[in-house]
Structure 1
Amino acid sequence: MTMGADGNWQLTVHTPKGDMTWHLAIETAGETFTGKMTMTTGSTAIENGTIDGDQLTWESSLVQPASVKVNGEARLSGDRISGEIKMGMYGTRSFSGTRA
């Protein structure tokens, strides 16, 4: 189990409109986590967050600019994080970041 996931993460997300800065706040409880993902269009709660070693997976729901189910996957390595966010009709966004 990854003990170092808790806290705030600053992400550089690669989008068709260029790189954007998003934030991920994580609070772990055993092998699960909750939190908030803040994007340029607002923020959304983390749902069904799970931790398996250094791997994190979660779901979120966006309402802006349209209602979309979001699935995130990330890998932690110390104070670094990387992965991808699948955003339904908006495609998949890769990201990397560091602990804020």
Structure 2
Amino acid sequence: MSTEIEGVWDLTIVTPIGRMRPVVELRTEDGLLVGTAHGAGEDLPLKDIALDGDRLTWKQSITRPMRLDLTFAVTVDGDRLTGTSQAGRLPSSKVTGRRRSHDVADTAEPAR
């Protein structure tokens, strides 16, 4: 089931200090779902990734713009996701995302 969530996801997180636009990569390694978040000049491993039906959760720590431990809970619907990110006792932030499509060369029909 984890292969259904794999890919590169462009996220938008609406926070009290503005919109953040990290990129999350999800893939399967040795049968486990693993991931990395890229944003604000950081590449951060995702922790405790869990997929239960269409609900995806993970944790990550960031140091920019400030040091925070984040917890994400999103619902995946095809190539879109929606949910929240929670930073400690701060109010939750709305998260939306879209999976990047494959390169045109990967999906194009072969020439005849």
Which TM bucket (shorter chain)?
0.7 to 0.9
Q: Mark the CA change 1:66 to 1:72 in structure 2 (over 3 Å): closer, same or farther.
A: same
- Tell me, in whole angstroms, the C-alpha distance in 2 between the residues paired with 1:11 and 1:35: 14
Question: 1:11 touches 1:23 (CA, 8 Å); kept in 2?
Answer: yes
Question: 2:40 touches 2:65 (CA, 8 Å); kept in 1?
Answer: no
The structure that is strand-richer by fraction is 1
Q: Mark the CA change 1:39 to 1:96 in structure 2 (over 3 Å): closer, same or farther.
A: same
Question: What does residue 60 of structure 2 align with?
Answer: 60
Percent identity of paired positions between Structure 1 and Structure 2: 27
- Structure 2's unaligned 5+ residue stretches are 101-112
SS at 1:72 equivalent: strand
Question: 1:2 touches 1:52 (CA, 8 Å); kept in 2?
Answer: no
Q: Which has the larger radius of gyration?
A: 2
- Tell me, in whole angstroms, the C-alpha distance in 2 between the residues paired with 1:55 and 1:17: 27
Aligned length: 99
TM-score (norm 1): 0.81
- Structure 1's unaligned 5+ residue stretches are none
